[in-house]
Amino acid sequence: MRNKLVVGNWKMHGSRPANAELLAGILAARPYAADVAVCAPFPYLGETAVALAASGIGWGAQDCSAHEQGAYTGEVSAAMLAECGCRYAIVGHSERRAYHAESDSLVADKAAAALAHGVTPIVCVGETLAERDAGRTEEVVARQLAAAIDKLGERVAGIVVAYEPVWAIGTGRTATPAQAQQVHRALRAQLQAAAAGGGGVRILYGGSVKPDNAAELFGQPDIDGGLIGGASLKAVDFVAICRAAG
């Protein structure tokens, strides 16, 4: 049984007062039937941990170094995230793949580093519009996921996957529930074939999820929740999306 999971990806947004107000709104609407978490910018992880301690709501980071420790200026290790109580670390978000040239194999290494420290990696996959138009969607996401499977082996059962079509991120253009379900089903089959517990991996949909489209997306058999960008910055919208998950 895969309990639904809704994760807010704040990206590079927020401030101390704005975060406090947002978290207070999320806390006030408990309890949630779905698992709920927020992924905050690194400098806010400490206060997010304080605000959410013992609340049942999880928190995480938006990236994680593939390295254990050392001379890697600007990087943050999985051990540090674990120390901050992070349950999750997003890895391989399309914005990092596009703006920071992250390769499939680097993303797989980051996932392995997170898992080694008890932090669940949320491994993002997704095609560009050009790739979709060329009919290559399933080939692209299969290649991206295969890198994680090859690196992790049976440990892949411990990850979360997020399918985020690049053309749907921040554009207001959402994949239709049927389009998303088709990709999720293919990812599920790939995970099932790869590892004993692979079928139990939660696969989230991300890309312009809003209160008015969340329920239909989350109602698809292989969509286990969402990774929410813009709508996770407003408590009332994020809470509505969490409720739509069950």
Q: Verify binding: residue 198, ligand 13P, rule CB under 6 A.
A: no
Q: Verify binding: residue 213, ligand 13P, rule CB under 6 A.
A: no
Q: Verify binding: residue 164, ligand 13P, rule CB under 6 A.
A: yes
Distance CA 206, CA 104 (A): 19
Q: Which of 38, 35, 36 is nearest to 18 (CA)?
A: 38
Alpha carbons within 13 angstroms on the beta-carbon side of residue 165 total 25
Residue carrying structure tokens 């239909």: 216
Report CA torsion sign: 138, 141, 144, 145: negative
Q: Which of 237, 233, 236, 244 is nearest to 8 (CA)?
A: 233
Only segment of 50-58, 141-149, 222-230, 237-245 that touches ligand 13P (CB under 6 A): 222-230
**Beta carbon of residue 173, minimum distance to ligand 13P (angstroms, whole number):** 9
93 is a catalytic site residue: yes
Site string for ligand 13P, 67-106 (x = CB under 6 A): --------------------------x-------------
83 is a catalytic site residue: no
Distance CA 91, CA 106 (A): 9
Q: Verify binding: residue 26, ligand 13P, rule CB under 6 A.
A: no
Q: Verify binding: residue 109, ligand 13P, rule CB under 6 A.
A: no
Among residues 95, 102, 127, 164, the one annotated as catalytic is: 164
The residues binding ligand 13P (CB under 6 A) are 9, 93, 164, 169-170, 206-209, 227-231
